[in-house]
Structure 1
Amino acid sequence: MSTRSALARQLGVVAGFDDPDASLEQYPTPPGLAAYLVHVADLRGDIDGRTVVDLGTGTGMLALGAALRSPERVVGVDLDWGPLRTARTNERRVAASADIEWAQGDATRPPLAVDDATVVMNPPFGAQRGNEHADRAFLETAADIAAVSYSLHNEGSKEFVESFAADNGGEVTDAFRAELDIDRQFDFHDRDRASIDAELFRIDWA
């Protein structure tokens, strides 16, 4: 198993969004944060030999991080064809040996037949007006298809995530603080870079 820092360096070549859509909250997951999530999942035995599904994969950062460990296969699902085309290019850049599939579709109703996956995701935080609680639909999908999930959420989400998991047969087993660095990419951004406090949760759905 490579170190977390080595994994972050490997993911440093992953390209972000060419034309990000604010309504879909298309923000890239930083390589260091993706490496942290995947490394924790791997240490917990949730990557090796497993089917890993990245819901809302975007340009593939989390999916590719998982593919650089030892999964049985990886599936990245996204609604937008543009980022998926970039994800395919990124796959060649990182030269992962695992079997990777890129599926175009709604991540909240994924075209998958699996019920024991490891789900990794950086879902929309619901920061845009009319998109509040967007992460709930992603958690609902995780509850349907996952044995375990790892997901990033806005700071202060612990009570909501724990309550949702309990109501849907799951249990939050781990919670970690995280930082999400976001570069200026939309007109409403007033700084070149912002650091957003976030939380990472591991949920056991089994």
Structure 2
Amino acid sequence: MSSVSALAQQLAVVAGFENPRVSLEQYRTPPELAARLVHDADLQGDIEDRLVVDLGTGTGMLALAAALRGPTGVVGLDIDRDPLRTAVENRRRVGTAADVSWVRADATDAPLAPSDRTTVVMNPPFGAQDDNAHADRAFLAAAARLGEVSYSVHNAGSQEFVESFAADNGGRVTRKFRAELDLPNRFAFHDEETRTIDAELFRIEWD
């Protein structure tokens, strides 16, 4: 079993949203995607012995994946109280040894000023809802403020936007790869049991 598969298997116990809010585009990040993102970050030296901040952590999938790879600590932020309660339970299920803190706050205006070397991980809203357009822009701005490096998941076709935003904010994309998101039927407007959408993952170094 590969390291990615083993990590995904550990994350399979992470519960998703009990009452997801469509306005916040609340979907459980698939364990396989979280494992791939965090494994790649670990290979680049961006997890072990670093503080990891998960913006918009939801029920904690990315935060807990990072916590299994030897960080100095993990902070998961989310504006919604209910998913954070689930994240607390998910940590017990996963059984991480690293220190994990859950903070209820607007991830785009995170009340943090890390003094440690910091990596940001996030699966931000894609801005698919009319009242949430360009939501990932605010998340990237927060990542630029908080971390030396960030890993983020975006809708397919976002490369030009992400690279341009990074360049305008003292950053540069150093790695990118494609992925798929399997989204279950959780909202009334869904007419399929599951839907697979194309996504892109980016590593950005921030000055």
- TM-score, normalized by length of structure 2? 0.98
Q: Distance in 1 between matches of 2:28 and 2:154?
A: 14
- TM-score, normalized by length of structure 1? 0.98
Partner of 1:136: 137
Q: Distance in 2 between matches of 1:34 and 1:130?
A: 27
Indicate the RMSD between aligned Cα atoms, in angstroms: 0.9
- Write out per-residue CA displacement over residues 58-109 of structure 1, whole angstroms, 9 at most, x where no aligned residue: 0000000000010000000000010000000000000000000000000000
Alpha-carbon contact 2:124-2:152 (below 8 Å) kept:
yes
Partner of 1:37: 37
- Write out per-residue CA displacement over residues 164-199 of structure 1, whole angstroms, 9 at most, x where no aligned residue: 000000000011001010000000001000000000
Q: CA deviation at 1:12?
A: 0.2
Q: How many residue pairs were aligned?
A: 205
Q: CA deviation at 1:117?
A: 1.4
Q: Which runs of 5+ in 1 are unaligned?
A: none
Q: Distance in 2 between matches of 1:150 and 1:134?
A: 16
Which residue identity lines up with residue 108 of structure 1 in the other structure?
T
Q: Distance in 2 between matches of 1:103 and 1:130?
A: 24
Q: Which runs of 5+ in 2 are unaligned?
A: none
The share of aligned pairs that are identical, in percent, is: 67
Partner of 1:7: 7
Which residue identity lines up with residue 183 of structure 2 in the other structure?
I
Which residue identity lines up with residue 58 of structure 1 in the other structure?
G
Tell me the secondary structure at the aligned position of residue 153 of structure 1: strand
- Write out per-residue CA displacement over residues 22-44 of structure 1, whole angstroms, 9 at most, x where no aligned residue: 00000110000000000000000
2:74 equivalent to 1:74 = yes
